[in-house]
Amino acid sequence: MSYIPDHKIQFKYFTFMAVLSITMMIISMLFTYRIIQLGPFTAPGGVFIFALTYTVADIITEIYGLKMIRQVILSMLFCIIIFNVVCLLLIQIPVPENATYVEEYNLVFSHNINLLIGFSVSFAISDFANAYAINKWRILFQGKYFWLRSIGSSIIGETLFGIFAAALMYTNILSFYDMVKVISSTWLIKVSISILAAYPATTLVELLKKVEDIKSIDELEFKQLYL
């Protein structure tokens, strides 16, 4: 027997959360090859923003459901591809003889083919795994312990991203030792940020549930979304 919704709902903050996710992902991608040093740790410059993308994805999954986060992930993937392809095309356009910073632009964006393939594959696999993990655990724990589920699913996503990023994005520009150092340091930093962000994220989830008037995601899935 099919359920016919008797009303439609319009989310107030879904669009903002989706755009925020896309913005954070592109910022992180731009600084992928900008390696920074934090004490004993060596990591990409966008590591702090990138770690929070999993937390934001967890919030979207918890509030708006698995179907909606899939739409966000696919939209992000599409935006990443467009961004990299456009950048690759733009650096091929001839420039005036007196143009400045041409070599610098070419150096920065010449790696975009690696980003296009490596980042897209790593991001898609890790983000889908993160979303499915927190959603499965939501069912298992009956919607409780969001902070714990967010940490666990983020660790899964961050681990998968690190594995695929190492294979697809860093093998051509870093030695094996430096690659292991960067990936391991990045993983530790991202996990630490995910743990620190878990409590504020839990508070935000509770607030959004009230603002969006959602008692449970199971109830939401029977409603017709009007976006």
| Residue 166 domain boundaries | 8-225
Q: Is 154 helix (H, G, I), strand (E, B) or coil?
A: helix
Residue 37 to residues 40, 164, 185, Cα–Cα distance (Å): 7, 22, 10
| Buried/exposed 33-64: b ≥16 CB within 10 Å, e otherwise | bebeeeeeebbbbbbbbbbbbbbbbbbbbbbb
Query: Which CATH number fits the domain that encloses residue 215?
Result: 1.10.1760
Domains in the chain, number: 1
Task: Give the pLDDT score at 5.
Answer: 41
> Domain for residue 3, yes or no?
no
> Domain for residue 115, yes or no?
yes
> Domain for residue 103, yes or no?
yes
Ranges of the chain with pLDDT below 70: 1-9, 110-112, 115, 215-227
> Domain for residue 183, yes or no?
yes
> Domain for residue 85, yes or no?
yes
Q: What is the pTM of this model?
A: 0.84
C-alpha span between 165 and 46 (Å, rounded):
14
Kindly report the number of other CB atoms within 10 A of residue 160's CB atom. Answer: 18
> Domain for residue 18, yes or no?
yes
Task: Give the pLDDT score at 38.
Answer: 79
> Domain for residue 1, yes or no?
no
Q: Each residue of 151-194: pLDDT tens digit?
A: 999 999 999 998 887 777 777 777 788 888 888 888 999 999 99
